[in-house]
Amino acid sequence: MLSYILHPLQPFQSIAHRGASFYAPENTMAAFQKAVDLGFDFIEFDVRLSKDGHLVVIHDADVQRTTDGMGYIRDLTVQEIKMLDAGSWYSSEYTNERIPLLEEVLKQFGGKIGLLIEMKSSENQPQLTKLLSDTLIKYIDNGIKPSTLKVQSFNINEIKKFHELTPTISSGILLEKPLNILHFQTYSQFASFLSVNHHLLSKSIIHQAKQYGFDIFSWTIKKQYQFQMMQRLGVNGVISDEEYQETNGTLLT
């Protein structure tokens, strides 16, 4: 196991970006199952609120790119969302794929693979944060281990709220702009990890982040050399997609 050779004492997590989105349409049950089959530790996926107040799994605010429909998720009911074909844009093999509900993912994959859930920003963000917290607590009460769940967002205020509502689940901040270490002290009060655009990482930044107790995950890793560079820097895991997923199974299992 390559990660073991490079960092024998440090657990390293392989995270499939939007599921195994190189092999199957992103953020679908097929992509999540493929990630399980490939031996990933976690799947990363995005959640948004439908018009009728359900958490649905989709990256974009609107359905145009990844389905045969049009419109914003916030303007569509679950009944309307479930009529959409979320697989044909990728390949005719996946014509029957639908946009999953968060609860469907929790039922099917909770406990089988780790779930890294990204709260996407929206006008109804406060409701989303509270509903996500309530939903995850319900599934923890039903037996899913908190250690198999992580929640992240670019929205720092909402991550703070999520942590206050759900301190047993690891929460993290997504960062895509140069890191300001002066914020680390504040972030460490409600976040246990930082998910960082890999271009922004250096040994020094990682060292300082670890002084505050953060785990560091880097995204989005597309090539094997990027993966190896991240391991040398000492990150705790990588969120990967595209060509890199071709070799992920052989490198990490």
Amino acid identity for residue 54 in this structure: H
Binder among 29, 105, 174, 196 for ligand G3P (CB under 6 A) = 174
239 binds, among ligand G3P, Ca ion, none (CB under 5 to 8 A by kind): ligand G3P
Strand, coil or helix: 183 = helix
Active site residue 59: yes
Q: Output the smallest distance, CB 228 to ligand G3P, in A.
A: 19
Q: Does the protein bind ligand G3P through residue 46 (CB under 6 A)?
A: yes
Q: Where are the alpha helices (DSSP H) in the chain?
A: 2-6, 29-38, 78-82, 102-109, 125-141, 156-165, 184-187, 203-211, 224-233, 245-252
> 3-state SS of the chain: helix, strand, coil percent to 5?
40, 20, 40
- Out of 17, 54, 163, 198, which one is annotated catalytic? 17
Query: Phi-psi bin for 212: left (phi > 0), alpha (psi -120 to 50), beta?
Result: alpha
Question: Does 118 help bind Ca ion (rule: CB under 5 A)?
Answer: yes
Can you tell me the distance from the alpha carbon of 170 to that of 46, in angstroms, rounded to the nearest whole number?
Answer: 16
What span, in angstroms and rounded, lies between the C-alpha atoms of 228 and 243? Answer: 14
**Residues between 117 and 136 that touch ligand G3P (CB under 6 A):** 118
In 3-state terms, what secondary structure has residue 139?
helix
DSSP state for residue 87 in the 8-state scheme: S
Binding partner of 74, given Ca ion, ligand G3P, none, CB within 5-8 angstroms per partner class: none
219 near ligand G3P, judged by CB under 6 A: yes
Residue 219 CB, nearest approach to ligand G3P (Å): 4
State the chain's maximal CA–CA distance in angstroms. 50
Shortest separation between residue 119's beta carbon and ligand G3P, angstroms = 10
> x/- string (CB under 6 A) for ligand G3P, residues 176-195?
-------------------x
Any contact of residue 173 with ligand G3P (CB under 6 A)? no
Site string (25-64) toward Ca ion, x via CB under 5 A: ---------------------x------------------
Answer with the entry of Ca ion, ligand G3P, none that 219 interacts with (C-beta below 5 to 8 A by kind): ligand G3P
Interaction of residue 196 with ligand G3P, rule CB under 6 A:
no
Shortest Å distance, C-beta 44 to ligand G3P: 5
Q: Yes or no: say if 16 and 43 are a contact pair by the CB < 8 Å rule.
A: yes
Check binding of 170 to ligand G3P (CB under 6 A). no
**In this complex, which beta carbon is closest to Ca ion, that of residue 150 or of residue 163?**
150
Residue of 19, 240, 22, 195 lying closest to 109 (CA atoms): 19
Tokens of 72: 């914003």
Q: Applying CB under 5 A, which residues contact Ca ion?
A: 46, 118
Q: Applying CB under 6 A, which residues contact ligand G3P?
A: 17, 44, 46, 59, 118, 174, 195, 219, 239
